[in-house]
Chains A and B, each alone.
Chain A
Amino acid sequence: MSLPHPRIVSAEILRNDPLTKEIREIVFRLPSDWGPAEPGQFVQVECRPADPFVLRRPFSIARTREGSGELRLHLVFAPVGDGTRALAACRPGEHTSLVGPLGRGFRPIPGRRPILVGGGRGVAPLLSLGDQIRKTHPEGLLLFGVRGPDQLHELEDPAYPIEIATQDGSVGFHGHLLGLLDALLEEGRIRPDSDAIYSCGPNPMLHALSDWAIARGFPAQVSLETLFGCGFGICAGCAVPVKQSEDEVGDEFGHYRFACVDGPVFDAERVDWEGVRE
């Protein structure tokens, strides 16, 4: 499938509400002919900070919803830095500039049952992945791991049954997502020969998950978190070290890929985690 050209659009903010103490959801109104976006793609958002020259911030697309001649774009974010705090302060009715859809998203593997594994707000792009593949992949699981109630929120209309893991044990499985995966594997509820893992979350979690999946023979795709300069391939700032494949051996240039155009979703076994900043 060839991806649509990214565009710069002025988008009206329809909602900007807390989902939990730490996590917010922002909803934009977009022209109906925007996209379509592939699950795992992202947008670069002008966060309207006081400093007029701050780079855009990248956000994975959580969901797009069509209706009455418009498109609604949902993003999930945590106000942790200058950009995201400024975005949190934006009010419904205001407009901001958005570039997208950008990057390469998840590539669902035909015939394999999807196991979606979301760490914290990394669960967001897995919702759109579920929306897209629920018809072709009716069976699946959605794992949602958080530290505790401050990050835990309801997931509207999920494509698959949800399993929750909390590090404080307040809800669901008590422990990390890997512990939950271990338990599911032991119970025979997930299987490396028939399932595939799609994940998004903090890089240390993705690193651990990649090692886990590779060791057990699960195909896995991970959406990396990186800093972007531009988000569309012109600045060379978002280098991701990758392991070279057979035909690239000897190609010194082959070591780095750009998260913004070659990713942000990569095959887990492709990423050279030793060189990834966590």
Chain B
Amino acid sequence: MFKILKYSFFDLIRSRWSYVYLLFYLLLGCVLLFLNNDLSKAVITLMNVIIILIPLIGTIFGVMYYYNSKEFTELLLAQPIKRSSIFIGQYLGVALSLSMSLIIGLGIPFILYGLFQSNEIWDFVLLLVTGTFLTLIFTAIAFNIALYNENKIKGFSYSILFWLFMAVIYDGLFLMSLIAFQSYPLDSFSIGATLFNPIDLSRILIILKLDISALLGYTGAVFQKFFGTSFGLLVSIAALSLWVIVPLLNMYRKCRKKDF
């Protein structure tokens, strides 16, 4: 597994796209800090970018990599290697190289700007942790979708749809159900509903660190009581981990049975 991981990882590292991705974050970080001159503002803007862009890049990259390296995968399958280690190795290769681009790309400008001397360091670390989680989650789901669909076009469109659903449509449904049932107590429902969407969950985690003043109004206090405590943080991290583990297990199951 590690050989394959290493192979995929270095293959990706050498490819143009991870450089572009890395450069994009480097540029974004530099420009934000240059324009804002304020670490906390930069973190807010980055959050907006990260919770939308990382899932999108994760899904597209994952699907693309799977389909592109399909012939090589078939070649590997002819060798005496466990199937699960081939796929999971490839997955980890993609996910880790994407996460590395994110961490290095954003880390360098912020460290140069003096992150370690500021109070924002924990917000920034949280941002990177959620970003990494989102990469892991959406790449895993992309691999799942690709495993289920031989047809490239179908695979691509399903994964884009999945991203669209999580990033936009889910919130729309969520909002509609909140308005429809507004005469009922909705606190635990809304906390539950956010746990079911990794994008929402990451957004809430970061928002509670930043936009506290608005959220702390009456209802905000309920959410703050849950997500703001270490218990809430643990639950959130656990939910995010589940979002990684479940698709991975499914991938493991599916790739063993799949007919090539």
Q: Are A and B bound to each other?
A: no
Which B residues are closer than 8 A to A by beta carbons? Answer: none
